[in-house]
A = this chain, B = another copy of it.
Amino acid sequence: MRTRPTRDDTREKLFEAAAQVFEERGIGAASIEMIAAAAGFTRGAFYSNFESKDDLIVAMLEDHVERSLQHHRRLLERHLNPTDFVAALRATERSRQDPLGRAPLLHMELILFVARSEKRRPELAQRLRARRKLVADIVTATTRETAGGEVRNPAWASSMLLALEDGFRLHRLIDPDSTPADSFFRAVGELQKLVE
């Protein structure tokens, strides 16, 4: 006899379906009905798992942040050498597990969603600053190791790198051919030449 799916299974399926529908039609144009149907449920299932669309979005975002964090932690544990870390990051970039990692349009839309939310913006800003700090450290370490010099201003290099990452992501949405997928990593190499 078929066992009833667990609550976590249902939530997971709704995450997947929501990411897909959001990616295809945009957050605004996606209705609860569409998301539930794409997951093979009705709206009843949705409302028994989430309070509202906003609730779902916040949950998705937290899920994504959590997975990203764990992913980076795992990489850092396995690849203590910073050069290897960048290489590993590059290699795993394409095969991300969470729904959000595979949906660049949605990724951007979620940033705007948060940017518009007075309540959640500080949280994301904090996260951005933390990432900037981490990247600054990595840049310093890798540059010292590979180029044998010091980056003049790691914080600034880090700002540029993260802006580049999202900038390339954005432009690839409009014209996928224009900026190859590894543009970001190439930029890392370029910026390492700015040593003294």
Decide yes or no whether A141 CB sits under 8 A from chain B.
Answer: no
Segment among A66-74, A78-86, A107-115 that sits at the interface with chain B:
A107-115
What residues of B have a CB within 8 angstroms of the CB of A165 in the complex?
167
Find A28's partner among B26, B170, B173 (CB 8 Å cutoff).
B26
Give the contacts of A1-54 with B (CB-CB under 8 A): 25-29
Q: Mark A96-113, 1 if CB is under 8 A from B, else 0.
A: 000000000100110110
By a CB distance below 8 angstroms, the chain B residues around A115 are 105, 173-174
The quantity of this chain's copies bound in the complex is: 2
A194 → chain B closest CB, angstroms = 6
B179 touches A26 (CB 8 A): no
A115–B112 alpha-carbon span in the complex (Å): 15
Is A119's beta carbon under 8 Å from chain B? Answer: no
Q: Mark A168-194, 1 if CB is under 8 A from B, else 0.
A: 101101110011000100110010011
Chain A positions within 8 Å of B, measured between CB atoms, are 25-29, 105, 108-109, 111-112, 114-116, 121, 124-125, 128-129, 132, 156, 159-160, 162-168, 170-171, 173-175, 178-179, 183, 186-187, 190, 193-194
